[in-house]
Amino acid sequence: MESENSAPAPNLLVFASRALKIGDRSDLKKFLGSSDSVNQVRVSSFQDLYFVVKTLGLQNSQDLLILATQEQRCGFIDLDCWRKDNFHISTFTEWLAAYIACGPEELARTARAIDPNILAMFLKKNVEVHYLELDEPLDNLQLMLTPDERFGIEILGKDKEATIAKLSLDAIFRIDPSLGYDLIDRIRWDQSLSLEEQGYQNKCLRLEEIGFVDYYEALSIYGESREDLVPRQKKVHVDEEIIEGSSTLPALFVASLSPNQYFWQAFQFISDRQQVRIIGKQLANLANRLMSVHSVASGNLEKVNPVLMEMRDTLNLGLEYLTNEDMKLSSTVLLENDVQAIFRVGFSIVAELRTCANKILNQGSLRLKDSDDTILEFPYKEFIEGLCRQRPLFFEGLDNPRSLQYRNFASLGDVEISRAGLKKIEILSRIFWKFVCGPGPKLKPNWFQNTNSSLEKITCGNLFVTAALNEILGKTFQHHPLTVKELHLALRKLTSEVKDDKVIVDGLINVGQKQLNKISTSKTQRKILSVFIEYWSRNAADELSLLIDQESVDPDGIQMVILK
């Protein structure tokens, strides 16, 4: 028998029940055979219907396209035919071709639904309009005449776009002449750039209602507001008149939840279906806003899913914080806060880590002069690079050396692991150059000449190991490049009695600890640096143990020692 926490929350099923479940042609056939199919299509958001059409493909969606309302047809173009602020003519042509296949009446209905600025821009590219009463005789041109024979339309070219333009105008003038004459005026008098600009502005206004906004405005969802980090004590009024958005996006979001997540738990105790519906609308709005930031088209499900995973993980992180890690309070917090506010809380927690990471790097100790790379090595190099992204990611290798993956921050546990990692890096950045008796990050350019290293290859580890080997040779503990002969001599001294990895590790650690005793450090600093010394020593032993009995060494094949 399943435990209470492993059973799906009944309220989660509300999302799935509202979404159109059409994934292939057999699903479509079954759906169209139901008595309520027409109504289900017409009450669906254009975004949900668009998801289905993109999944099936335009050629297989003719029966759905015919059922779509004017608003839905306009929405298809808004969602699929723009690349930021540029209109994608070839995609638009495919939509017109799909409706031409549905018949002239459906094409005319679609033309009426589409923004006339965009339709006129498409036609202007493919036709030229002649005013027959004023223009010079055009006897040699093959023209399509308007019903009143005042205008002659010349089709420019014979490619697919030109053919679609001709068929579109023919259907429009036969079924909706008033629209045809409106388009003629726009083609004759308006510039293509102004038509596109007005079409873009109109599209933005329509999509703003369901969360799609300008890229820079959408970025505000990643704003860092310290006020958002304080749980609200008063119940927030939720706008129940929010424009109906996608039900597919919330359904996909809910499908990704698991019982150990705060958002899943929140729905266990929400019994009011109206509240569930409102939260669903907020989720769809947030998802659309995030897709605006990521420049993801709604129909590209491969790219939509990562956006939803980011939304899921950030919301769970925000809820975990706002509930003080008490999962039973999840539903209360969810009902008293807007979903976007919870998302900002989650992101603010992660952004705080990014701020700390940048502060450490800006101190300048971990980057050599003229280099963008840090002198850190795995996993700290990858870890801090993940944090410094615009949308910080957690590097799993910090906690699990076998993993090389980046992922979203999913819990406060990830945050604590990261804070501990940053503390180690911050301490290392403050005392490393003092420890290795070096000149700091401003190494002279000629320092790398005639060595196996370069600006991009220098790490804390090879600087330490080189300095330790110099000490073993009786020189100063400094990272002066060694000759191959000196490397062999240092290895013989390290392994004079036993030739194995452990002897090399212990020898390097011993030298490092002696050097650490010479500098003034706190107990915490000594503890942290001791961890790094052991890590560098083990990495070096893995490489150096292979060289013990070798008569010759290729310096370019050595990573952990700087050689002449």
Torsion angle defined by CA atoms of residues 521, 527, 530 and 532, in that order, rounded to the nearest 10 degrees: -100
List beta partners, residue 128: 154
On whether the CB atoms of residues 475 and 489 are closer than 8 A, the answer is no
Closest CA to 380 of 365, 362, 369, 395: 395
Write the single-letter amino acid at 300: N
Q: SS3 for 445?
A: helix
Give exposure, 179-198, as e/b (b: 16+ Cβ within 10 Å): bbbebbebbeeeeeeebbeb
Helix, strand, coil share of the chain (percent; to 5): 60, 5, 35
Torsion angle defined by CA atoms of residues 106, 108, 111 and 113, in that order, rounded to the nearest 10 degrees: -70
Write the single-letter amino acid at 283: L
Tokens of 206: 């329509």
Give the per-residue pLDDT at 444: 67
CA distance 462 to 451: 13
Closest CA to 297 of 113, 51, 23: 51
On whether the CB atoms of residues 563 and 481 are closer than 8 A, the answer is yes
Residue 511, burial from CB neighbour count under 10 angstroms (0-12, 13-18, 19+): buried
Tokens of 295: 């420049």
Give the per-residue pLDDT at 236: 40
Residue with tokens 């873009």: 200
Rg of the chain over Cα atoms, rounded to whole angstroms, equals 33
Write the single-letter amino acid at 35: S
Question: What number of CA atoms fall less than 13 Å from residue 325's CA on the CB side?
Answer: 3
On whether the CB atoms of residues 559 and 448 are closer than 8 A, the answer is no
Listed as own residue / partner, the contacts of 132-140 with beta carbons closer than 8 Å and 24 or more positions apart are: none
Upstream peptide bond of 379 is cis (omega within 30 degrees of 0): yes
C-alpha 104, offset from chain centre: 41
CA distance 536 to 465: 7
CA distance 329 to 322: 9
- State the 10-residue block means of pLDDT for the chain, 564 residues long: 42 64 90 92 92 92 95 95 90 96 96 97 95 73 90 92 96 96 96 96 90 77 59 42 70 87 86 82 92 81 90 96 92 91 94 95 86 91 95 94 93 96 95 82 70 84 93 90 89 78 90 90 92 94 83 82 88
List beta partners, residue 129: 153
234 phi-psi bin (left φ>0, alpha ψ -120 to 50, beta other): beta
On whether the CB atoms of residues 511 and 465 are closer than 8 A, the answer is no
Give the per-residue pLDDT at 446: 67
Tokens of 148: 């009143």
Distances (CA, A) of 153 to 100, 158, 194, 277, 542: 19, 14, 22, 51, 78
On whether the CB atoms of residues 15 and 247 are closer than 8 A, the answer is yes
Give the per-residue pLDDT at 229: 44
CA distance 119 to 111: 7
Tokens of 85: 């602020």
Residue with tokens 């020898």: 507
Residue with tokens 């452990």: 502
CA distance 6 to 268: 11
User: What is the sign of the dihedral through the CA atoms of 363, 369, 372 and 375?
Assistant: negative
Give the per-residue pLDDT at 394: 97
List beta partners, residue 154: 128, 143
Length reported for the chain: 564
Q: What is the pTM of this model?
A: 0.83
Q: SS3 for 370?
A: coil
Q: Kind of pairing, strands 143-145 and 151-155?
A: antiparallel
Q: Kind of pairing, strands 127-131 and 151-155?
A: antiparallel
The helix or strand, by DSSP H or E, that contains position 152, with its residue range, turns out to be: strand 151-155
